[in-house]
Amino acid sequence: MRKYFFYTSLMLSGLLFNAVTAYAQQTDDLISLLGKEKPKKERETNAFKSTRVVNGHSMEFLAPGTMDFRILHRFGQVNNGYSNMFGLDQASMRMGFDFGILQNLMIGFGRSTYKKELDGFIKFAPLRQATGTGSFPFTVALVAGMTYNTSPFTDTSIKNYNTSRIAYYFQAIIGRKFSEVISLQVMPTAVHNNLVLLNSQSNDQYSVGVGGRIKFSKRMAFTVDYFHRITGLEKGVSFNPLSVGIDIETGGHVFQLHFSNSTGMNERAFITETTNRWDKAEIRFGFNLSRVFQIVKKKKHS
């Protein structure tokens, strides 16, 4: 009995050793094969269908050599009722031109009817979300912008300076495309106004924004962005901007219908000068239209 048990154990040990050896050999072959054919690095794209969420920048970039012609249109407050056709009788707009320089670099400028402001920005991403060799789990982008108010000075009895018309903003975007359906990002932002209306107001204001997209069909998605002001919020006077929209992709166009409690459409305006609130229906209906053109011929790879 003992001999039988001994020989049986010896045979099973031999079979187990052979199985482990064969598995190890197969694993080595697989690792060797993977070592020869490393997965290529592929950048995640289309986290958002546009370089803007609604008001704020998104983590998306234009392709090099392309121009995005953007028209942003926002009507009056819907709670005014029939007196101004729920805001349709009033409107403000921004017209802009954005340019793709590199895969991770773009610039843009525009002009708004609100305070007759000119604005410009530069956006750069040192890190892009990607898969494969050398991949990174999310995108980090940096934005720097400036606005210039061209409307007349309200008080002409004092000496006014052109530098008083200037404001700056600096923003970081940390975002991730979690799936083909969901994308999220956070946007810490600082805005500096060279001139403020009251001595009690700070020239520097800080906020943290969040933006997201939920895709619910092949060409349509729900988008939202919200900025929570850490400093500079005046109780009962100014409010945090919240915007929600529906993106509709139509070939070369991205058409967005949205509602927002902000009037201005650049960072200085919608972050620091939103004076309306959602709970009183002081919101505005609007649309954003984006049309991308190829203005520089793509290089042919031989």
- What are the pLDDT digits (tens) for 242-293? 999 999 988 778 999 999 999 999 999 999 999 999 988 899 999 999 999 9
φ, ψ for residue 289 (rounded to 5)? -120, 125
Distance CA 232, CA 203 (A): 9
- Cα–Cα dist 223/59, whole Å: 13
> What is the predicted pLDDT for the residue at 301?
53
- CB 279 within 8 Å of CB 242: no
Domain ranges of the chain: 1-37, 42-294
Q: What is the pLDDT of residue 184?
A: 97
> Per CATH, which fold does 42-294 belong to?
Porin (2.40.160)
Q: Which of 37-46, 67-76, 208-217 has the lowest mean pLDDT?
A: 37-46
Q: Is the dihedral of CA 260, 263, 279, 234 positive or negative?
A: positive
Most confident of 46-50, 57-61, 161-165, 232-236: 57-61
Q: Which of 28-42, 92-106, 175-189 has the lowest mean pLDDT?
A: 28-42
Q: Hey, which bits of the chain come out as E strands?
A: 42-43, 66-77, 91-102, 105-112, 117-127, 130-131, 139-149, 166-177, 182-193, 204-215, 220-229, 242-250, 253-260, 284-294
pLDDT at 3: 42
pLDDT in tens, 166-201: 999 999 999 999 999 999 999 999 999 998 877 777
pLDDT of residue 36: 54
Residues 83 and 151: their CA atoms lie apart, in Å, by 28
